[in-house]
Structure formats: structure tokens, C-alpha cells
């Protein structure tokens, strides 16, 4: 920080007379970067301080200090830290502009600082700032691509941006175009895929980071959870003594039908003081154990609520604690904890919105459908279908429960490779649930579209993707809309 302040003051008082600083990704900086990306944040920061003493003109240390701030805020999710560290951004950008413009790291480092803070801006609801930081990063990276077309690191960040911008829903597309940006999901994914391939033999410094981005985008934009999991396995994830790679595998395991593997990874994760505190991993463990119907799942959500100082996942945690009690037949504690889902925490994430909605509606979930849902989410399809076989649609009184029953059967048939049976139940769920403000009809439309796309029936696929987009105000709307839009862009 002191170096940044001094150089900023020199810049202000001497204009452009400072000599250009270097960008040297030397061995010490490589070690620092690898420590940071492993979430050994204090170790990485110490290496950067050492680099500043040894080579005060090396701006790679300044650029990597932003990684330290970014990952500190990302793992803690604390608004107070975000507000305090955000002040470093402008100081770093000023200092980086004094770097040697003849190297590809000049524009790249400026873009990375903007991108990292844009990601945090979005996390904390500062969307206006995020849009313009993304635009600055996009322009810097495209200019850098023209100047240095063989600079691989640039393609890492451009690939992510192209993929994300290509998935922007139609109602926001005009804004992206107005700001002079454009995206293409397939092109962005191809950038990342090619980088991973070439990085296997070239010692690409950003190889692991690129793999992480690619896997998450496969899961979240293209709904290719199994392919995402295989990408991680093929590239040696999780890496030893690396908490970030453990988190990546566990996250994709929990949300990509490898729940048992995820629990093992989370139970065996590195926990020494050399790693950053990462409360979300307790939340993730709770989700994984709840999907196995393990009786101690609630303890992980409770631990998360005690140690976590952020705003997100709080409503969802209280909802899941409530579910744990409901599955044990304890309605009193269900009502107690679901009430907290209405009162506490932010209402930004789709999962938190869904938790709040459940609390507001005072509608206790059907335990049998809930068990089937959780077992399905964990990838235990035989147990999930056994739950469903114990009942039928007529056993449920409400339209919500009848629709969910049909939707759950469709999901199970879909994942057990019976697409025609899945389409039957998805169609019935769409018809039954089209007028209720739940996500069952919307996701049935999305999943039907994916089946038709796989069959090569593009017209029906497009119809169902657009049908998914047409449903208003349901839980998970943001996420489902993004997937539908990304698919429509891909098909074009």
C-alpha cells in the first residue's frame, strides 16, 4: 500500500515523467501467484511483500496484490472488507499505467484489476460500477489481443467474457451492444478449451485458473455437469495442498451429481491456518450431506451461520435447517427456522429468494417429495425413484404438489437416460404448473428443450427455450433464463 501511495503522489506531482516500470513474472511472483490461487493467501502476500523489497519496480507484484484483495473478499464474502479494500483499486490502476507499454502484461494487468473488482461489485449489488468495469476490461483485452495475438493469458480472460456476454438475456442485450461489447458462448468456450489443451505442454501459468473457469462455465452456462466433472478429473483436480481446487471439485460435485465424492473431498479438505477461512465450504458440506439425508446435515449450516459474516446463503441455510427438522417429523422447529429465512439475510441469490418465498407462503413442503428432491439432487436416483413409486399424482391435494410430483418424475427419467418418458412428465408438469409462480414449469421447458436439441429437433428446442423465458417471477428465474438464452445463442 505504501508503495502505491508514494507512486501515486509522484505521478500527481510530476506528470508523466516517471520511468516505465517493468512487468516481470519471475520465479518469486510465480510462487506468489500459485500460493494465492491455492488460497494460501497470507503466504502469497508475504511473497509479494518480499518481491516489493527486492524489485520495487516490478508491477507484477502490484497486479498480484489485487488477486490477494479479490480472493480475500471472495472467500469471506464480507461487505466491510469489500468496502475497505475497494479503495486500493484506483491506486493500483494509476500505478499500473506507469508500466512498460511494450509488454502484453500492461493492458492485461489493467483489465484483470477491473474484472476482479467487477466480479466483487456484482456480488455486493454494485451493478452500475460492475458494468463499466467490465466494459473497460473488455476494451483493454480486445486492444491487447490485436497488439499481442499470441499472448495466451489474454485469451483466458477474453474467453470468460465472450462466454458470459454471449449468455446475456435478450432484454439486456441492447445495453451490452450500446456499450460496444459483444459475446459468443461457443467462441468463449473454445478459447478456454484450446488454452487448456496447449497448456498441458507449455507450462501455462494460468492453467489451473483456466480449468476452473471452463468447468464452472460448462456447469452454469451449458448445463454440462458431467463434462465439467470429467474436465477436472482429466486435469488432476483436486490438486494437493490446494483449497481452491478442492472447492471447485466439491462445488461441481454437489451440483453435478457427484455428491458422494464431494462429501469425501470436503471432509478431507486442508484445514491448516495457512489457508484462507472459507465459511461457504461448511454450507456446501451441509448441502451435500442433506442430499444424502444424513442426520447431521443441519450442524454444518449452523456452523456456517456462526462463522460467516456475509449476506448471501443465509436464507437458504435457515430453509435447509428447517428441512432437516421437517424430515425428522419436527414441524415446530421447521416453523421456527423457516421464519428466519423470511427475516434474515439478503434476497439477491435465486436460492435465497426461493427460501424467502417458502417462508412467506407458509406452505410446508411435502416430506415425501422433499426426500425425493434431495436424493435426486445428490445423484441417488434409485432411492429417489423408490420414494416416488410409493405414491401417485392423485395422492396430493395442491396444484403445487401435483406439479412437483410430475416434475420430479421427469427429472429422474431424464437423468436415467429415458428422454421420451421424461418429455411426457415434463409436458404434464408444464401443463399443470403453467399458472403457478413456481419454477417447475419453467425448468421443465428448459430441460425439454435440451432433450429436443440433443435429438436434433431445433425447432422444438427453440420453442421450449423461449417458453422457459416466458415464465415470470418464479424462483431461480435468473439462472434458468441465463441458461435458456445461452442455448438460443449457441443454436444461432
Domain of 478, CATH number, reads 1.25.40.10
pLDDT at 17: 45
- pLDDT computed for residue 180 by the predictor: 76
Beta strands in 377-418 (DSSP E): none
Share of the chain above pLDDT 70, in %: 94
Here the cell at position 216 is 464452472
The answer, yes or no, to whether residue 6 has pLDDT greater than 70, is no
Spatial separation of the C-alpha atoms in residues 458 and 478, rounded to whole Å: 23
Give me the domain span that covers residue 140. Answer: 1-149
d(CA 97, CA 481): 39
Classified as helix, coil or strand, 271 is coil
Q: Residue 391 has what pLDDT? A: 87
**Average pLDDT, whole number, for the chain?**
91
CB 413 within 8 A of CB 421: yes
Name which residue leads in pLDDT, 216 or 18: 216
Phi, psi of 21 (to 5 degrees): -85, 160
* pLDDT at residue 84 greater than cutoff 70: yes
Question: Of the residues 149, 166, 187, which one is the last residue of a structural domain?
Answer: 149
Closest CA to 62 of 76, 84, 45, 77: 45
Contact 158, 130 (CB under 8 A): no
pLDDT at 12 over 60: no
Instruction: Report yes or no on 26 lying in a domain.
Output: yes
Q: Report the DSSP beta bridge partners of residue 21.
A: 99
Dihedral (Cα; 145, 147, 149, 150), 10-degree rounding: -120
Q: Does position 16 have pLDDT exceeding 60, yes or no? A: no
Nearest Cα residue to 158 out of 251, 149, 394: 149
Residue 350 forms part of a structural domain: no
pLDDT for position 333: 97
The whole-angstrom separation of Cα 72 and Cα 309 is 13
Contacts of 309 (CB under 8 A, 6+ apart): 76, 77, 78, 80, 279
> How far is CA 288 from each of CA 258, 294, 298, rounded to the nearest angstrom?
9, 9, 11
What phi and psi, each to the nearest 5 degrees, are found at residue 179?
-85, 5
Distance CA 104, CA 133 (A): 20
CA angle centred on 184, ends 471 and 191, rounded to 5°: 135
For residue range 230-283, list pLDDT tens digits in order: 999 999 999 999 999 999 999 999 999 899 999 999 999 998 999 999 999 999
Pair 64, 36: CB distance under 8 Å: yes
Q: Which backbone phi and psi does 28 adopt, to 5 degrees?
A: -65, -40
Instruction: Please report, for the domain that includes residue 29, its CATH number.
Output: 1.25.40
Is the CB of residue 337 less than 8 Å from the CB of residue 323? Answer: no
- Spatial distance between the Cα atoms of 311 and 314, rounded to a whole number of angstroms: 7
Give whole-number Cα distances, 311 to 318, 345, 435, 477, 479, in Å. 13, 5, 32, 20, 19
Name the nearest CA neighbour of 69 among 50, 53, 92. 92
Q: What is the 3-state secondary structure (H, E, C) of 162-208?
A: HHHHHCCCHHHHHHHHHCCCCCCHHHHHHHHHHHHHHHHHHCCCCHH
In a domain, 242, yes or no: no
Domain boundary residue, one of 122, 149, 176 = 149
Residue 210 lies in a domain: no
Question: What is the domain count for the chain?
Answer: 2
The answer to whether position 306 is within a domain reads no
Asked whether residue 171 carries a pLDDT value surpassing 80, the answer given is no
Q: Which cell is 222 given?
A: 451449458
Euclidean distance between CA atoms 229 and 168, whole angstroms: 25
C-alpha closest to that of 141 among 153, 132, 150, 154: 154
What does the alpha-carbon distance between residue 143 and residue 258 come to, in Å, rounded to a whole number?
41
| pLDDT, mean of residues 299-319 | 97
- Span 188-221, pLDDT tens digits: 999 999 999 999 999 899 999 999 999 999 998 8
Are the C-beta atoms of 82 and 50 separated by less than 8 Å? Answer: no
In a domain, 294, yes or no: no
- 415 within a domain of the structure (yes/no): yes
Q: Output the pLDDT for position 175.
A: 67
pLDDT tens digits along 273-301: 999 999 999 999 999 999 999 999 999 99
Please identify, among 149, 175, 195, the residue that sits at the C-terminal boundary of a domain. 149
CB of 99 within 8 A of CB of 21? yes
Between CA 391 and CA 405 the distance in angstroms is 9
**Is residue 373 assigned to a domain?**
yes
Amino acid at each position: 500500500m505504501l508503495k502505491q501511495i508514494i507512486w501515486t503522489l509522484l505521478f500527481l506531482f510530476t506528470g508523466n515523467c516517471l520511468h516505465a516500470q517493468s512487468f516481470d513474472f519471475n520465479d518469486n511472483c510465480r510462487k506468489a501467484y500459485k500460493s494465492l490461487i491455492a488460497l494460501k493467501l497470507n503466504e502469497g502476500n508475504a511473497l509479494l511483500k518480499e518481491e516489493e523489497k527486492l524489485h520495487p519496480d516490478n508491477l507484477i507484484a502490484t497486479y498480484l496484490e489485487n488477486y490477494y484483495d479479490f480472493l480475500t473478499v471472495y472467500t469471506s464474502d464480507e461487505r466491510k472488507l469489500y468496502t475497505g479494500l475497494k479503495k486500493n483499486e484506483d491506486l493500483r490502476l494509476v500505478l499500473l499505467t506507469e508500466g512498460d507499454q511494450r509488454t502484453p502484461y500492461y493492458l492485461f494487468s489493467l483489465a484483470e484489476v477491473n474484472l476482479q473488482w467487477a466480479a466483487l461489485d456484482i456480488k455486493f449489488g454494485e451493478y452500475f460500477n460492475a458494468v463499466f468495469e467490465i466494459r473497460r476490461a473488455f476494451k483493454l483485452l480486445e486492444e491487447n489481443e490485436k497488439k499481442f495475438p499470441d499472448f495466451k493469458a489474454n485469451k483466458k480472460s477474453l474467453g470468460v467474457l465472450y462466454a458470459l456476454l454471449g449468455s446475456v438475456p435478450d432484454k439486456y442485450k441492447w445495453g451490452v451492444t450500446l456499450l460496444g461489447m459483444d459475446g459468443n458462448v461457443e467462441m468463449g468456450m473454445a478459447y478456454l478449451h484450446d488454452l487448456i489443451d496447449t497448456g498441458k505442454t507449455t507450462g501455462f501459468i494460468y492453467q489451473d485458473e483456466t480449468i476452473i473457469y471452463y468447468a464452472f462455465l460448462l456447469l452454469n452456462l451449458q448445463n454440462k455437469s458431467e463434462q465439467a466433472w470429467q474436465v477436472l478429473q482429466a486435469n488432476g483436480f483436486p490438486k494437493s495442498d490446494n483449497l481452491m481446487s478442492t472447492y471447485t471439485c466439491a462445488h461441481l460435485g454437489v451440483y453435478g451429481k457427484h455428491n458422494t465424492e464431494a462429501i469425501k473431498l470436503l471432509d478431507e479438505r486442508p484445514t491448516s491456518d495457512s489457508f484462507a477461512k472459507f465459511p461457504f465450504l461448511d454450507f456446501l458440506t451441509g448441502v451435500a450431506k442433506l442430499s444424502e439425508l444424513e442426520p447431521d446435515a443441519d450442524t454444518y449450516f449452523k456452523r456456517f451461520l456462526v462463522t460467516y459474516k456475509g449476506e448471501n446463503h443465509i436464507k437458504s441455510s435457515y430453509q435447509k435447517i428447517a428441512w432437516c427438522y421437517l424430515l425428522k417429523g419436527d414441524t415446530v422447529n421447521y416453523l421456527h427456522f423457516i421464519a428466519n429465512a423470511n427475516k434474515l439475510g439478503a434476497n439477491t441469490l435465486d436460492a435465497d429468494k426461493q427460501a424467502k418465498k417458502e417462508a412467506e407462503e407458509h406452505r410446508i413442503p411435502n416430506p415425501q417429495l422433499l426426500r425425493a428432491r434431495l436424493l435426486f439432487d445428490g445423484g441417488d436416483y434409485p432411492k429417489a425413484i423408490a420414494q416416488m413409486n410409493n405414491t401417485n399424482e392423485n395422492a396430493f391435494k395442491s396444484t403445487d404438489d401435483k406439479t412437483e410430483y410430475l416434475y420430479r418424475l421427469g427429472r429422474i427419467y431424464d437423468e436415467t437416460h429415458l428422454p421420451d418418458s421424461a418429455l411426457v412428465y415434463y409436458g404434464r408438469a408444464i401443463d399443470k404448473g403453467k399458472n403457478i409462480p413456481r419454477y417447475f414449469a419453467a425448468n421443465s421447458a428448459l430441460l425439454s428443450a435440451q432433450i429436443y436439441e440433443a435429438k436434433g429437433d431445433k425447432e422444438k428446442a427453440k420453442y421450449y427455450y423461449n417458453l422457459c423465458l416466458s415464465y415470470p417471477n418464479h424462483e431461480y428465474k435468473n439462472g434458468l433464463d441465463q441458461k435458456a438464452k445461452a442455448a438460443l445463442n449457441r443454436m444461432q
